Structure 1
Amino acid sequence: MPAIESFSEAITAFGVPRESNAYAKAAQRLYADEGRIEIDDQVVVSEGDEGAYVMAWVWVPDSALQGDSSGASDDPTPAGSFVTSQFRNHYKCPKCDHVWSDVWSAQCDDDCPACGTRHVSPHKSDDV
């Protein structure tokens, strides 16, 4: 393989077409928001045991910079955007008694990472 000399050459060398990768297509469907979060047509995907990281571009306007000299607000949340609540949900599997917690944007069921039992409800949730 020839030497990679630019970031775009690295994406070409290590990326996959977005439409040919299930994780990249899911990321596009779930997170892409033109002008805020964008996922290129050629994308780097790093797969793990239970999911994948998908490379994306996040837009940060100048007005969101803290301590800038423009007199902009110190609030890093861009105007017109929203902040979602997050919950640390605590679970105990009714089948294998495995205990775990995970952070979600809702107090929702999860699947047991130890035995795969589906739709385990949290017994406790904390605001994060």
Structure 2
Amino acid sequence: MDTAPPGVRADIWLWAARFFKTRALAKQALGAGKITCAGVACKPARMLRAGEMLHIARGEERFEIEVLALDNTRGPAAVAQTLYRETEASLAARAAQREQRRLQQAGTPRPPPARPGKRDRRRIHAFKQILGED
């Protein structure tokens, strides 16, 4: 007797595979057309089957994955990663995008801390004493 489910709802599978923190967020992304299956926008109630290709847009990240296994319960991250396989092109594109963001941030100076620390306050106080303001 085969106990494997014939399909799992797309919103439940995306939640179980840990692409979204809650099922409601997965459902919202599906409703907004952020996830496509075979080039067509996927609806939350669509039954996913093993072997299907999904394109997922989550923020700035874009994933192209193949569904390997079905599960409707959320488990550890190690188990969730066995549910899908990301394509090589998708991995390379995300790595290039990550590197581009890192290079863009390298030239941006970091803002100073909002408030002076203990050492800075002591220096300010000493400087004011030298000026005779304190």
TM-score (norm 2): 0.24
> Which of the two has greater strand per residue?
1
> Which of the two has greater helix per residue?
2
The answer to which structure, 1 or 2, has the higher relative contact order (CA under 8 A, 6+ apart) is: 2
